[in-house]
Amino acid sequence: MNWQRLTQLAGAVGLLFSAGLAGAAHAETATVRIAKQFGISYLPLTLMEDQKLFEKHAKQAGIDLKVEWTRFSAGSGMNEALLSGNLDFASGGVGPMLTIWGKTQNNLKVKGVAALNAMPLYLVSSNPNVKTIKDFTEKDKIALPGVKTSIQAVTLQMAAEKAFGAGQQYKLDSLTVSMSHPDALAAVLGGHSEINAHFGSAPFQDIELANPKVHKVLDSYEVLGGPHTFNSVWATTKFVEGHPKLVKAFIDALEESMSRIKSDPAAAAAIWIKAENSKLSAADAEKIIRDPQNEWTTTPKKIMVYLDYMNRAGLVPAKATSWQDVFFSGIHGAKGS
């Protein structure tokens, strides 16, 4: 009887696992864990969460979906969670995505699922003596989401290489400090910290530039030679190949979210402000959303430009022949770069 009971318990445990995402391909209920970061650049995911668009498209595919949303301040922490199996979809800048793509070529094979946008990143400073990046001294400290690996850190290295010459890409790295965008904003505007510069993103850079004591030093579009992907979503090959219906539902939900942003920027702004408890006015948020420089698209842009630099700098040893090598097939039909 004891063995029979044990067998019954084991069967019950198996059924519980099969009801979850990791259990079986025919599961009717799934739990997916998604992470995002701070800023209006994550608006497509914010709308997806608020309007339950992922659940909607999963339901159409015959899956009852439960989504668990988490928050990180940098892509490096997300990558750790993804590698440890505590996250299904990570999102962040191109830098962290390419880093984990390169490191997992022989195991988990992490790739991009889709882009979230194309947006310029501004390096701003409250030091009136800093007009270009050549003016920074040891007295200046630059806050960014993650030293070495964040898209801001990589873009700063690319700018340093252009400004100071080949082999000088790390010249400003000693001035950088890892800090979340909200904390960096407070530090720069507060004026009571050693942090007097911030390589951030919208809306933080917009709020900072509204202060007359703050000015723009660098624009990432100038460094990259035009619009580039800022944020993307990535996942492991095991997850994507194991759950094709869920991944398609995710991409469909993302496309619907972006369509809503484009068709009704005011509504999108209101949803974002409420969800983020932002002090930004609805008008200012809508202005950022409508800014022609900010593109809401799943199409990757200038991924290869970033990868080429990261290859040369030794940050990512793995190489690719095209951007499709870095992303899963779900968006290979896009006119990316």
Which residue range(s) make up the domain with 306? Answer: 29-118+229-331
Based on the fold, state whether residues 98 and 129 are members of the same structural domain: no
Place of tokens 């005011």: 266
Q: Burial level of 174, CB count in 10 A (0-12/13-18/19+)?
A: exposed
The answer, yes or no, to whether residue 284 has pLDDT greater than 50, is yes
For residue 2, is it within any domain? Answer: no
What would you measure as the largest C-alpha separation in the chain, in angstroms? 82
Question: Is residue 271, in this structure, part of any structural domain at all?
Answer: yes
Full strand arrangement of the beta sheet holding 176-178: 176-178, 141-144, 195-199, 122-125, 215-219
What's the pLDDT score for residue 10? 38
pTM: 0.86
The pLDDT of residue 225: 96
Could you tell me which residues come within 8 angstroms of residue 277 by beta carbon, excluding any fewer than 6 positions away?
Answer: none
> Per the domain annotation, does 59 fall within a domain?
yes
Q: Which range among 65-79, 142-156, 283-297, 302-316 shows the weakest confidence by mean pLDDT?
A: 65-79
* Mean predicted lDDT score pLDDT of the chain: 90
Residue 62 lies in a domain: yes
Tens digits of residue pLDDT in 313-326 = 999 999 999 999 99
Residue 4 falls within a domain, yes or no? Answer: no
Residue-level pLDDT at 193: 85
Q: What percent of the chain is helix, strand and coil (3-state, nearest 5)?
A: 45, 15, 35
pLDDT at 29: 62
Please report whether residue 208 resides in a domain. yes
Q: Which two tokens stand for residue 214?
A: 């703050």
Beta bridge partners of 177: 143
Overall number of domains in the chain: 2
Residue 147 lies in a domain: yes
CATH assignment of the domain containing 171? 3.40.190.10
Last residue of a domain, one of 224, 256, 282: 224
User: What's the confidence (pLDDT) of residue 19?
Assistant: 40
Same domain for 235 and 316: yes
Query: From the CB of residue 147, how many other CB atoms can be counted at a distance below 10 Å?
Result: 20
Which among 191, 208, 224 is the end of a domain?
A: 224
SS3 208: helix
Together in a domain, 210 and 272: no
Q: What is the mean pLDDT of residues 118-123?
A: 97
Q: How many C-beta atoms lie closer than 10 Å to residue 328's C-beta?
A: 21
CA separation, residue 301 to residues 164, 182, 246, 262, 308 (Å): 26, 27, 25, 19, 13
3-class SS at 212? coil
pLDDT above 50: residue 73: yes
Does 131 map to a domain?
Answer: yes
Mean pLDDT of 72-83: 82
**Which pLDDT band holds residue 192 (cuts at 50, 70, 90)?**
confident
Out of 43-52, 95-104, 130-139, 145-154, least confident range: 145-154
The pLDDT, as a whole number, for residue 76 is 75
Among 208, 224, 240, identify where a domain stops: 224
pLDDT digit string (tens) for 229-282? Answer: 999 999 999 999 999 999 999 999 999 999 999 999 999 999 999 998 888 899
| 102 plus 164 within the same structural domain | no
Q: How confident is the model at residue 2 (pLDDT cuts 50, 70, 90)?
A: very low
Residue 203 CB neighbours (<10 A): 26
Higher pLDDT, 38 or 122: 122
Residue 185 shares a structural domain with residue 127: yes
Say whether pLDDT at 167 is over 50.
yes
Which pLDDT tens digit goes with each residue over 10-53? 344 344 333 444 443 444 568 999 999 888 999 999 999 999 99
